[in-house]
Structure 1
């Protein structure tokens, strides 16, 4: 049998073990409580952090804003993010315009609400710029745009990728930065088609017949050309809107008193069937209406041929600016003195002041009067004959002087 002494030792040892086990249990409990409290406190801090900071893996407009506040995220995005899309040499390029605000704090706050969780997590959140994506889409479509520009019976296929070097898209609008190629193309179209300052063969009347001899005439103020500036804007707008065809006839110009085009799509070399013809050599005038001679005068007097050349009636094709009755013609004589001549009918056709009118003061109506004693450049008509000219002449119709 175990001695009393050994039994006592074993009991003491067991008691020590029990004490140690109890102590360990108590310490474990204490450490567990401490750890739990720390975890609870950590979770509380994390939840509090999450109320003001983005989750770790958040990207807005290509900029990482993880663990940042709305204010700091806004600042970083505005400093780093691309905010401009451009089409440069047929490629969409993104860049940053420092003068432009990329995003507001209110917008960043909306993204914050979208990604917000009670506690931070490692999920990835990516938010792209809707306006930048729209710009990329619009610019890509623009690069493929083409327009048929129709003028003078011809069709020109204008393609954006060939004619636009640089264009931006922002705030819902295209901003063409470099369209010089488009301007050059339209200038080429103008040169190929304009009738201003162009010479051509034309048959003038003879006697009572509209078909006389054929001469070479040159358009001066009469005619039309492509209004490049206006057409340029129209083509760019068509590229932007997806318009497929443009009527070039809507983008023309003219010279002289009226800057509207004259003779576009008219027959007879653009002259049409209504016009006035003045022969300097014969000192005759014809008014043609509907392709027939309506008025033929054999005794008009044109500008003086000798002396100051500014008194000569200018050759070329012009047009009637307007009609005024009665009127007072004002100007300067060759000696510098002023004149003011009253006329009953006034039909100007040059900006320098030449026109058709009655001349009640004139006594010399001979065929040679114009050589030394003609007008200051106008076509003088006898008072008794001018009314039929007035009645048949139309505003904007061509006046051919040869």
Structure 2
């Protein structure tokens, strides 16, 4: 009898544990984990609907900070969330769900449907002004660069610097635009390396210049000019070639000396 009672109590305890786990599982799958934020707004412990309501009620100051210092005083706007964004919040809820409750700090980025971007241009301008000022006493990084000369392409070595990268900071601005206030951190510019995609593209474009020939005709005489005869040095950046054609000037001078009749005596009938 005593053995039977123990079995019964054990079974009831197991049911209670399973029931507790089930209730806990249901709760934390329908509520955000406690240290979750969306665009910097705390939504821990909230349901999807409550989180949406909190996000929608927020005001965006549009202030921009760089390294903790305010560099742009924005004009306050609404959050930009609409009912169309409820599904986005629900999706985030599912993404952050864990088997057991988690205390991990996680910030999810969610772009509101009607996000006001009217101050974006002014923000970027403020960032450039601030970074230019910070860079006054810093050393600019030098990218690796492909150079064509003597029918071959070489790549210069990159040089590290200490100057901040404006474009990277502005890119981070776009990622934080939906936040109440925008907290940016200045990052040092990393120079392009010899193995970067951009430099490889330069190399491929410059190799096309090697071993080319053209025929230059003056009256009844033709001159064959090679790449070396025309180009002293060339680079390729931003989709365009840049040429040093001092070599061509010399070839034209030679042809002109041989062909020109100005100042020369000649016989005629």
Q: TM-score, structure 2 length as denominator? A: 0.37
Judging by fraction of residues, say which structure has more strand.
Answer: 1
Q: TM-score, structure 1 length as denominator? A: 0.27
Compare relative contact order (CA 8 Å, sep 6+) and give the higher one, 1 or 2. 2
